[in-house]
Amino acid sequence: AILIAEIASASGCNSSPKALDEAPMPGSASSFDAIVAHLKKHADAVVLEGDGGSRVLVSPRLQGRLFTLKVGPVESTGFVNLAAIAKGETDPQFNNFGAADRFWIYPEAGQFGIYFDPGADFDRKVWKVPAALDKDPFKVISQEKDVVKMTRDMEVTNYIGTKFKVRVDREVGASKASGLPSELGVKLPDGVHYAGAYSKNTMTNTGAERWTTEKGLIGVWIL
């Protein structure tokens, strides 16, 4: 699981919604609602409700990405590449839509890597994210106020030609402030805004063959 804690004092935070509107991050909208609207227009958007009015934005259509969080007066804590999202899944090498948490698979390179075609030179110019990780949606299997569960079948091939068929189960949820003492070893002070999110990811071999070290292994890689 991944915990993202963004903390801003209600009395001491220098950023306000107005200030954020005046100086948005490159590639990002200044308003959480504006980002949600953009995703709904070009893909989809699931908004999870956290503690104290915090919100978590997930897009099952864009590979189940946990895009960003809203905490107190801070509208967005993650990078969201609005231009790339509007353009769609058109880049054969890497659709860099952004996100605070996205599902990938490792290893990247070497004889068992999956980001280079079999036999290709290990050159950044021919590196590419496997299409199974870079395109198409996760299927939503259940959704509640603070959690969404998704699944998807994938196939990837490593550098020596080993093929892997997997089922990926992904859960994204809003973390509770009550969990902070055990998660981070701290108690949330009064007057502090909190937003937390996590993802749980499981990958299951659905192919006919067992995985072996001789033919290569793969694992969950969360960015």
Chain segment 39-82, per-residue pLDDT in tens: 999 999 999 999 888 999 999 999 999 999 999 889 999 899 99
Does the pLDDT at position 16 exceed 60?
Answer: no
In order, the DSSP letters of the chain are -----EEEETTT----HHHHHHSPPTTS-S-HHHHHHHHHHHS--EEEE-GGG-EEEEETTTTTEEEEEEBTTB---S-B-HHHHHH-S--SS----B-SB-EEEE--SSTT-SSS-TT----TTT----HHHHSSPPEEEEE-SSEEEEEEEEEEE-TT--EEEEEEEEEEEEPPGGGHHHHTS--PPTTEEEE-EEEEEEEEE-SSS--BTTTB--EEEE-
Q: Determine the pLDDT at residue 24.
A: 44
Does the model's pTM come out above 0.75? Answer: yes
- Percent of the chain at pLDDT above 90? 73
